[in-house]
Amino acid sequence: MPSRGPQAEAARREFRAIVDDKGHAVDNARRAASRLEAAFDAGDLARTPVLDRMLADLMLALEQDEGQKLGGKSAEAARFITRAISRELDNA
């Protein structure tokens, strides 16, 4: 059952706004994931197995070594996964 209420709607809206922000997709994806984790921790959204898998995939795409810059493939993966998370948020 999807989470309801103003906090749940705000968390979904803020996640989507962060994803759509101008800026590098990798940076936006990190910020969006942090916002989503905060919503889970606060109980605003229900953590689902599907979202957990998507977030795990996103974290893999965003992994980098010290000083390494993430390029096109990471950015494209981040965009793809955050769009999928955005769609799935309606079930969280």
Place of tokens 């010290």: 66
Taking residues 6-10, report their average pLDDT: 94
pLDDT in tens, 49-91: 999 999 999 988 887 655 555 556 778 888 889 999 999 998 8
Q: What is the DSSP letter of 91?
A: G
pTM score? 0.83
Helix (H, G, I), strand (E, B) or coil at 13: helix
Quote the Cα angle for 82-58-20, to 5°.
Answer: 25
**In this model, does residue 31 exceed pLDDT 90?**
yes
Integer Cα distance of 66 and 14 in angstroms? 29
Integer Cα distance of 71 and 25 in angstroms? 10
